[in-house]
Structure 1
């Protein structure tokens, strides 16, 4: 079936799909995040939301321009939807999350929440003219004249316009998208700087318990409260 399909039995355990139905399942195109944190639009529309039953019907919906991801019309059934992305379809909005059981899930959100997108900075590059290219976890990038934000900080967008900046620091609210504590919401208690090539770790508190995880596994989603609606999963 080629690169646009995957044997269902070999699909990531994070995908909330049935394993014993058809042989093949839609493979999301290569995106900014790994496949275990990504779902294709085909899978979302047909297998999770169950709006239609066939891939042909999915393509018909997409070709009519009825589906948006983060506010942009998408017509590719294999388009990748990753954690914290917003899918808008038939006047309903959903954000993709991962829970503590390591399963991706869609959470229905209101129109206002659907306009908000926290984007973690995963890299920076100095360009000619002292401009800074900021690379985000969702694959997008930004050219800026300022170099005040650090890798792992978050820039919050509303309707594609910058709304706020969130520092990765003690007291910040975080959401874990990988690791043993995946799906947890917590508050940073300490950023434990590493030596040499060892990855930086953080100490955070969630539900009155302390945990240690890698800095790379966390996204800052607020200062004292989350900037987006967080489901109870």
Structure 2
């Protein structure tokens, strides 16, 4: 199986230039499915901290890069929505957040906010022993003793250190949400109405904003904390590849 991915066919969420070269690095199997962006692309094309795969491997081997509190050694590890990237030597922390057009962007956060990450509940089932297993949007699973208070579509904040649920936001009318896909990706507002659609079609969600609002499908909205909007207003957003960062010519295969 090839280790390379053609740039023209990468998912829309990948923040890469599509016509500068033929190939880019391929993400390993892992969180976020096919939308997961290889860590190398984040380090090189988005942040500009490395110029090539060799430099990325050196930085990772030094233990200076963490995702959700875990020190990584694989430059192909997928990075996706709401992951927390920390750079200890730089004392920098970023949250992966939806940008314009659904492309992943990075929002600077402080060290306290970097100790936990937000996840959307996409699955829930009882397991032997009486606990309830929750499955999050990135594939993470965790057990809770009492699952009655959690429903699909809710969001929870999970501590990186011990997977403890430290906050819970219900998916309901009046909740603060962001769109993570579709033409309104990156927009924030409050749920005005959840329109239940009969059959197998997606439910519609009407989201109100100060000036107007938008309509999208249930799958595309994630309930967030109001602190996320503070991060967006006050934090520094890292430049993305389309904003001017160009990939150096390293032979067309991102080595």
TM-score by length of 1: 0.89
Q: Do structure 1's residue 95 and structure 2's residue 95 form an aligned pair? A: yes
Task: Find the counterpart in structure 1 of residue 243 from structure 2.
Answer: none
Q: Do structure 1's residue 217 and structure 2's residue 201 form an aligned pair? A: no
Q: Do structure 1's residue 193 and structure 2's residue 196 form an aligned pair? A: yes
Q: Distance in 1 between matches of 2:3 and 2:95?
A: 23
RMSD: 2.0
Q: Distance in 2 between matches of 1:126 and 1:14?
A: 33
The secondary structure found in structure 1 opposite 2:199 is coil
Task: Find the counterpart in structure 1 of residue 53 from structure 2.
Answer: 55
Task: Find the counterpart in structure 2 of residue 46 from structure 1.
Answer: 44
Task: Find the counterpart in structure 2 of residue 67 from structure 1.
Answer: 65
Task: Find the counterpart in structure 2 of residue 178 from structure 1.
Answer: 181
Deviation at 1:34, TM superposition (A): 4.2
Verify the 8 A CA contact 1:42 1:78 in the aligned structure 2.
yes
Higher relative strand content: 1
Output one character per residue of 1:142-177: Cα deviation in whole Å (capped at 9) or x when no partner.
112212200111111244432111100111100110
Verify the 8 A CA contact 1:123 1:151 in the aligned structure 2.
yes
Q: Among residues 163, 166, 170, which one is paired with 2:166 in the alignment?
A: 163
Higher relative contact order (CA 8 A, sep 6+): 2
Deviation at 1:228, TM superposition (A): 6.7
Task: Find the counterpart in structure 2 of residue 30 from structure 1.
Answer: 29
Output one character per residue of 1:2-59: Cα deviation in whole Å (capped at 9) or x when no partner.
44321223333432223344432112223342434x3111111122211121211111
Verify the 8 A CA contact 2:66 2:85 in the aligned structure 1.
yes
- Report the more deviating stretch, 204-213 or 27-36: 27-36
Q: Distance in 1 between matches of 2:143 and 2:220?
A: 25
Task: Find the counterpart in structure 1 of residue 114 from structure 2.
Answer: 114
Structure 2 CA distance for partners of 1:175 and 1:41, relative to 1, 3 Å: same
- Report the more deviating stretch, 22-31 or 165-174: 22-31
Q: Do structure 1's residue 140 and structure 2's residue 140 form an aligned pair? A: yes
Structure 2 CA distance for partners of 1:56 and 1:145, relative to 1, 3 Å: same
